Amino acid sequence: MKLQELVDSLSLVVKTASAHLTKEVTGGYVSDLLSDVIANIKEGSVWITLQTHQNIVAVATLKELSGIILVNNRTPDADTLKKADGEGIPILVSSLSAFEIAGLLYNLGLRCR
Amino acid sequence: MTLNEVKDILQAEVLTSNFDTDMHIELVCSTDLMSDVLAFSQSGDLLLTGLVDGAAVRTADIAHVKAIVFVRGKRPSKETVALAEEKKIPLLITKLSMFESCGRLYVKNLRSSINAG
Amino acid sequence: MQDKSAKTAEGVFFITGKDFANAGVASCELKSILEKMGVDRGIVRRASIAAFEAEMNVVIYTPAGMMRYKITPDYIKIVVEDVGPGIENIDLAMTEGYSTASDDIRSMGFGSGMGLPNIKRNTDELNILSIPGIGTTLEIVINIKKE
């Protein structure tokens, strides 16, 4: 499914790279530990996390992720926003928790490859 | 649902001797960051985490969380297991990812801990 | 019959910096003391969370620190002092998600920037005195409702 569909079904707020919402989402991954994400996330995945510092953009670019969902209404700082726009990485924000976002995506048929 | 049902749904292994199969589980907190467990106004019954460390056990103790499931299959040290035994907090481990664990429990109607707002 | 909540207690814990294996030991001990004294569960939770976050900050960012506590029927006072690098900008540090933690610390699951906000949310008074290069003192007060 396309990232835009996720934005619509989960009412996510698009913070960056709104032109890149046509990306195909091939899986979901929940983690706040960067080393774990770098080691295990698969390309095309949408990454669900609480982390907001600019390293998340580097990870998303390196691992060719479709986007990042920040939960619990976490707002990315200015550096993160700038970097994400520059790299074309959509950052989406939700007021829901990681548990709920993962649950809703699971219900939509998304899996963790 | 009961802790035993959680164990079955997540195909989890129980690491501590204290394991109350009938323990009632309703609210879940899933995070790898311990301060975020404490940011909820009610941390809930079950902690799903990839932080396989004594800090997770102490955080659970402070937050009155009833049980912990370590996800992603990483085994805790025996000191961590001993700490959980001492605090009478059941410790489980699953090979499933955090995403899969959350997904499976969500479709069975478990919900997230209440946000502080 | 003795009224449990009429007792007072005070004490001190020493906190070793970077000792992640024992991070939180002091707060868990304090929680135990409060529970044994029969303090209201909600108050115990708030005091324990505040103590834990303060203790974690000492472990994560400093070489060493000390947690002193005083429990009376009317209030709980916790003072955490350290000899760490100090906080450059307290207002910024109080913002949720703001953190000066190194990548190593973050990769261990700490330093997500919720520490001071969590303390503030759970306490009635929070005073922070910090001198960069010298250290930080946190003074926390939680009022106990009279029964």
Q: What is the pLDDT of residues C114-129, one digit of tens each?
A: 889 989 999 999 999 9
Q: What is the pLDDT of residues B13-62, one digit of tens each?
A: 999 998 888 999 999 999 998 888 888 768 789 999 999 989 899 999 99
Q: Are A32 and C109 a contacting pair at CB < 8 A?
A: yes
Answer for the pair C69, C55: CB distance below 8 angstroms, yes or no. no
List the beta strands (DSSP E) in B11-103: 13-14, 27-30, 46-49, 67-70, 91-93
Q: Name every residue whose Cβ is closer than 8 Å to that of residue C48 and which is 6 or more positions away in sequence.
A: B62, C27, C28, C30, C31, C34
Q: How sure is the predictor about A38, in pLDDT bands with cuts at 50, 70 and 90? A: very high
Cα of C75 to nearest chain A Cα, Å: 32
What structural domains and CATH numbers belong to chain A?
3-107 (3.40.1390.20)
Cα of A61 to nearest chain C Cα, Å: 18
User: What number is the average pLDDT over the span C20-49?
Assistant: 94
Cα(B57)–Cα(B90) distance, integer angstroms: 10
CATH class entry, domain C4-143:
alpha beta
pLDDT-wise least confident of B83-97, C98-112, C127-141: C98-112
Cα(A46)–Cα(A59) distance, integer angstroms: 12
Is A50 near chain B, with CB under 8 Å?
Answer: yes
Which 3 state secondary structure label does DSSP give A63? Answer: coil
Q: How sure is the predictor about C146, in pLDDT bands with cuts at 50, 70 and 90? A: low
Q: What ipTM was estimated for this complex?
A: 0.94
Cα(B74)–Cα(B93) distance, integer angstroms: 8
Whole-model pTM: value is 0.89
The answer on pLDDT for C1 being more than 50 is no
Q: Are A99 and B50 a contacting pair at CB < 8 A?
A: no
Q: How many CB pairs under 8 A join A and B?
A: 89
**Average predicted confidence (pLDDT) for chain C:** 89
Tokens of A109: 């048929």
Cα(C49)–Cα(C37) distance, integer angstroms: 18
Q: Name every residue whose Cβ is closer than 8 Å to that of residue C73 and which is 6 or more positions away in sequence.
A: C5, C6, C7, C8, C144, C146
Contacts of B54 in chain C (CB under 8 A): 20-24
CATH topology of domain B3-112: 3.40.1390
Which residue, among C35, A1, A49, has the nearest Cα to B64 in the 3D structure?
A: C35
Q: What is the pLDDT of residues A41-75, one digit of tens each?
A: 999 999 999 988 888 999 999 999 999 999 999 88
